[in-house]
Structure 1
Amino acid sequence: MKKLLFFLLISVSALAQIDRVEPPFWWNDMTHTDLQILFYGKNIALNEVTVSNGISIKSVQKTENPNYLFVTIDTKNVPAQDLVFTFKNGKKSFTQSYVLKSRKENSRFRKSFDSSDVIYLIMSDRFANGNPNNDSNDKLFEKANRSNKDGRHGGDIEGMIKNLDYIQSLGATAVWPTPLCEDNDERGSYHTYGQSDVYKIDARFGTNEDYLRLSAELHRRGMKNIMDYVTNHWGYKHWMMNDLPTRDWLHQWPEFTQSNFRMTTQFDSNASQSDYQKCADGWFVKSMPDLNQSNPLVLNYLIQNAIWWIEYADLDGFRVDTYSYNDKEGIAKWTKAITDEYPNFNIVGEVWMHDQAQMAYWQKDSKIGAIQSYNSYLPSVMDFTLHDAINGGVFNEDKASWDSGIIKLYENFANDFLYPNINNILVFAENHDTNRFNQAYGSDFKKYQMAMTLIATIRGIPQIYYGSEIGMAGDKGVGDGDIRRDFPGGWQGDTNNAFTKEGRTKFQNEFYDFTAKLFNWRKSKEVIHTGKTTQYVPENNVYVHFRYNEKESVMVILNNSDEKQTLKTARFKENIKKLSIGNDVLSGQRFDLTNDLTLEPKSALILELTQRPVR
């Protein structure tokens, strides 16, 4: 009995040496077979390590910090099982269990989001509070305070789940919530881009199990779950920050050095090395330590974490924050590793630039990148130049000139040839970092109609921002909190519940009904998803483009003038051909295309073209 008690005491004491194991578990039958497990605990590196069942340890890597041990095992052809790692230091030893799970059937070839989808972007803390009991947490610094526009308000995963029917009714087929992993900053943590634990959902949003339930509920509806992933930085409260594995885990400077945000230095052949380094290695802000993806341990940690979330939460895609601020070679390896594991997996990167050639540089197989022998392997980028035109006020420019008015849209699409995969770029009028569309346009319903008609019918993957479909506004100039307002009806006691037709105001229903009609129509339109495009140089501030394939043809007309315009249909005969009838998707009105069309001021038409019936 005394020997048993002595053994137990030693085992308990020894086990206390391991505080973390990451990834916490893994799967068999993965392409990523060299699994590097991080063991963290007091002086863990002083131990020799072995593993059970004849599993091969390929390497054991120690760093200058004895509290870390990186153990790489070969999982190729290893069945799902419970493994036991034994740590031995002299006569003392202890064990740590580790589970290899069975992989989901056909997981490798999961279908991701594409141009047939419409993505609904949610500011996670501001959409809906489904569980008020988790608004604050004893172990996390910032508490809920809805009166603070820059504080936590209590939106959570449960709120999303409870309102998935609403999102689906809009015609959205995929959901992109802003990051949900733990962010333990003392203030401003609601946006969750400064994460403190990248294997754990923030308790104020819910649990890891809640996130799995969100995925399952989306999939039950035939919808997709896109994770907002951050590779460039963590939060300064991340658990590693007080005890780094290596000094170069982060980009270190003699004193705080902020990025110069000049992403052009990443490919500018004339750029100084110091400017390049300041962009890529400078910190975003003081509270966001900049990760060093050129360190192989960091890079592999990020690769495995991303794969772990895909497999664990059954994800359908990533949106990657600040993609072009990463070490460019490192982020390319990260992206390729994920798409090697999941060949159909789509990843859209935030490349916030204002020139099509510069954005196209970052898309997979770019001929522009190839000039410098660079391939990011990133499947999708975001069409920020289109956003610049829309949110910059193009629909307020009533009179056209050589370079103002709706010609800005035409000129944007004229550069489509620069992108290696034009159907796989994200198109949007606004997001969680920009001015609200309805703020820029004074909640003008006609201008909203034009913008959404454009987003819904051009090439690419449409993304809409929560609340705009009910006319929500928000001023970036006032602060980020204003463009991230609470969705009305998402909190107990809200007097306006915009989640239901009865709860919406007349104004809100006007926006909602139009949006739902437009994007539900788009769902089944292959001609919009993958069709070809022909556009015509605008005349009188009227822009016309066609989407067509062998089966269908759609004519889209935007009158950006503040006056009625006459559109001479004969000009478009190369696309109209013998299709003499245009049925407007929005109004149900039928137009005879053998005659000229009268366009109302600030109006949009989506005409499905057909032949006149034979009598």
Structure 2
Amino acid sequence: MIKTIKNLFLLACFCLLGFSGNAQLKKVEPPYWWAGMEKSEIQILFYGKDIADYKVSLQEDVPITGIRKTENPNYLFVSIETAQASAGILHFDFSKKGKVKFTRDYELKERTADSKNREGYDSSDVMYLLMPDRFANGNPDNDSVDGLTDTYNREKNGGRHGGDIKGIVDHLDYLEELGVTTLWSTPLLEDNDPGYSYHTYAQSDVYKIDPRYGSNEDYKNLASELHKRDMKLVMDYVTNHWGAEHWMVKDLPTYDFINQFPGYAQSNYRMETQFDPHAAHRDHHYCADGWFVKTMPDLNQKNPLVLNYLIQNAIWWIEYADLDGLRVDTYSYNDKEGISKWTKAIMDEYPNFNIVGEVWLHDQAQIAYWQKDSKIGAIQNYNTYLPSVMDFTLHDGLTSMFSEKGGWDTGMKKAYNNFVNDFLYPDTNNLLVFLENHDTGRFNEIYDQDINAYKLGLTLIATTRGIPQLYYGSEIGMRGDKAKGDGDIRRDFPGGWEGDALNAFKASVRTEQQNQFYDFTQKLLNWRKSAKAIHSGILTQYIPENNVYVFFRSLNDAQVMVVLNNNDEVQTLDLSRFSESIKSSTAGVEVLSGKQIALKQTLTVPAKTPMIIELN
């Protein structure tokens, strides 16, 4: 009996020691990995008080290829090669003075079949951008969370309004019926920035969904629910910076993990210094290494620990949540060489994937520099490996062209002139085209909710080359004045909160004006789903005359003629001018009205009206 009690006591002591030692590890990242990955050598971050004082070994026959200690003893970076490893549990032993003090299990999971060959979004898709905090509040219980500074305050423009992942899932039928095929949500990872965290670009933990939005499992479920509807999910990923409250920023692994001057210096935002052959080193330094704002420390991708961490984190989320693409924030502010290595690593892992980078410049050559295989980048022996960029020059033109008379370079000439420069891009069908986004003025504010301007603008981005992106609420005419601050262009979607005076998710409740916007959007986007000539057809454009822009999309025998009349008067077009594109067609169906159109000598186009004609 005494012997039994003694053995139980020793066992309890052993368990207690094991638990106590393991408790010394506060973080292990990535939390697990997968067998059979292209990136088979992974670097596991172990974080805990003086963890670097331990020796680490593996019980299994899996090679440890490197152990990196830094000036901060709370970090230990252990690299292992998993190429020959099978799915299962690995056991890391942490020893001192030759004795194992504790063991940490680490799982290699079974990879989803054919995960490598997942298809990303492309020009057959329509992307819908929403801000989760401002879209719909599906779970009021998580509006405020202990330990996270910002609490629910819907009265404050820059406050947290309570929108969450459940609110998105609850309205996926709405998005599907609208004609959306791809969802891009602004970041959902934890952001503990006090006072202004609702936009979630100052992240404090990049392996954790912000609890005010839900859980990691909720995010995974969002992807699953989208896939049930044959829709796609795009994660908004931030490589350039974290938030000042990020746990690693508060206890840096190395002094140069973030860019220091020492401490804070703000970016000059002059992205052109990234390729200016005459740029002063100082100017380039302050662009690429300066902090975006004081609460967003700039990550140093020149540091291999940082770069590898970001690569692994992105791959982990793609694999874990079954993502279909990424949108990368402030892409052109990153260290140029580091971001190209990051992008290549993602695309090597998923060759059919898609990533669009935010390159907010106002010159096509400068934007094209950042797209994969750019001949402009090649001049400087540089390749980003980035498949897609955002067409900000088209957006620039869209903010004014529909309120202008036709001139040498005004009105619809702005659209024509934008596409003239498409020779600069390696892949024009992989450009993101948009009327607005979460950082710009609202299109329906700029044009004072003019439904005709909206019809012209949406028709243009939905039928030209590239991937059209809609910003939440545009489809019901939502406004927002950028001059009043970002909060005003990020208003709550009406009906996303219990007790809202109007529920714009329901046609029977929407106002007549809202239904005008919605009905047009729905008709156009749902037609686009099967319009293969629009997805990948050749674009042929004609110089605008009398402020009327005409272009064609052609794929094999499929021909679509698009006419945008930007005049306050009816226009009559001489069709002989377009004979090389119309060819032998004598009639067609106008998609938006459903009417048969005779294509003889002339075509009459109503004032301020788009026409989309599928040629017979």
What TM-score do you get using the length of structure 2 for normalisation? 0.98
Do the aligned residues in 1 keep the contact of 2:264 with 2:297 (CA within 8 Å)?
Answer: no
Partner of 1:353 in structure 2?
361
Partner of 2:591 in structure 1?
585
Partner of 1:519 in structure 2?
525
The counterpart of 1:63, out of the listed 63, 70, 78, is 70
Aligned counterparts, 1:118-267, within 5 A:
118-267=126-275
2:41 equivalent to 1:12: no
Distance, in Å, in 2 between the alignment partners of 1:568 and 1:589 is 20
2:34 equivalent to 1:27: yes
Distance, in Å, in 1 between the alignment partners of 2:57 and 2:429 is 50
Partner of 1:431 in structure 2?
437
Partner of 2:487 in structure 1?
481
Distance, in Å, in 1 between the alignment partners of 2:391 and 2:75 is 42
Partner of 2:558 in structure 1?
552
Distance, in Å, in 2 between the alignment partners of 1:166 and 1:6 is 58
How far the C-alpha of 1:255 sits from its partner, in A, is: 5.0
How far the C-alpha of 1:588 sits from its partner, in A, is: 1.4
2:124 equivalent to 1:116: yes
Distance, in Å, in 2 between the alignment partners of 1:401 and 1:106 is 53
Do the aligned residues in 1 keep the contact of 2:552 with 2:560 (CA within 8 Å)?
Answer: yes
2:79 equivalent to 1:72: yes
Distance, in Å, in 2 between the alignment partners of 1:517 and 1:7 is 68
Partner of 2:284 in structure 1?
276
C-alpha RMSD of the superposition: 0.9
Task: Give CA-to-partner distance per residue, 1:560-584, whole Å, 9 cap, x none.
Answer: 1122222111110000111011311
How far the C-alpha of 1:32 sits from its partner, in A, is: 0.3
Residue identity in the other structure for 1:387: H
Distance, in Å, in 2 between the alignment partners of 1:471 and 1:242 is 43
Overall identity of the aligned pairs, in %: 63
Residue identity in the other structure for 1:133: D
Residue identity in the other structure for 1:189: S
2:395 equivalent to 1:387: yes
Partner of 2:422 in structure 1?
416
How far the C-alpha of 1:92 sits from its partner, in A, is: 5.3
Task: Give CA-to-partner distance per residue, 1:244-295, whole Å, 9 cap, x none.
Answer: 0000000001353110101000000000000000000000000000000010
2:85 equivalent to 1:81: no
In structure 2, stretches of 5+ residues that fail to align are 1-5
How far the C-alpha of 1:12 sits from its partner, in A, is: 2.8
Partner of 1:337 in structure 2?
345
Task: Tell me the secondary structure at the aligned position of residue 414 of structure 1.
Answer: helix
How far the C-alpha of 1:405 sits from its partner, in A, is: 1.3
Distance, in Å, in 1 between the alignment partners of 2:16 and 2:139 is 41
The counterpart of 1:528, out of the listed 531, 534, 552, is 534
Distance, in Å, in 1 between the alignment partners of 2:13 and 2:524 is 71
How far the C-alpha of 1:124 sits from its partner, in A, is: 1.1
Distance, in Å, in 2 between the alignment partners of 1:567 and 1:321 is 43
Q: Which has the larger displacement, 249-258 or 213-222?
A: 249-258
Aligned counterparts, 1:431-450, within 5 A:
431-450=437-456
Which 4+ runs in 1 deviate beyond 6 A? none
Distance, in Å, in 2 between the alignment partners of 1:396 and 1:471 is 17
Aligned residues: 608
Residue identity in the other structure for 1:597: L
What TM-score do you get using the length of structure 1 for normalisation? 0.98
Residue identity in the other structure for 1:48: K
Aligned counterparts, 1:599-610, within 5 A:
599-610=605-616
Partner of 1:304 in structure 2?
312
How far the C-alpha of 1:310 sits from its partner, in A, is: 0.3
Distance, in Å, in 2 between the alignment partners of 1:8 and 1:567 is 85
Partner of 1:613 in structure 2?
none
Residue identity in the other structure for 2:151: K
Residue identity in the other structure for 2:533: V
Task: Tell me the secondary structure at the aligned position of residue 477 of structure 1.
Answer: helix
Partner of 2:571 in structure 1?
565
Residue identity in the other structure for 1:415: N
How far the C-alpha of 1:495 sits from its partner, in A, is: 1.7
Task: Tell me the secondary structure at the aligned position of residue 145 of structure 1.
Answer: coil
Partner of 1:375 in structure 2?
383
In structure 1, stretches of 5+ residues that fail to align are 611-615
Distance, in Å, in 1 between the alignment partners of 2:460 and 2:15 is 68
Residue identity in the other structure for 2:467: I
Task: Give CA-to-partner distance per residue, 1:495-534, whole Å, 9 cap, x none.
Answer: 2111111121111111000000000000001100000010
Partner of 2:547 in structure 1?
541
Distance, in Å, in 1 between the alignment partners of 2:167 and 2:250 is 34
Distance, in Å, in 1 between the alignment partners of 2:590 and 2:401 is 24
Do the aligned residues in 1 keep the contact of 2:234 with 2:324 (CA within 8 Å)?
Answer: yes
Partner of 1:452 in structure 2?
458
Distance, in Å, in 1 between the alignment partners of 2:407 and 2:229 is 47
How far the C-alpha of 1:358 sits from its partner, in A, is: 0.5
Residue identity in the other structure for 1:14: G
Do the aligned residues in 1 keep the contact of 2:259 with 2:300 (CA within 8 Å)?
Answer: yes
How far the C-alpha of 1:171 sits from its partner, in A, is: 0.7
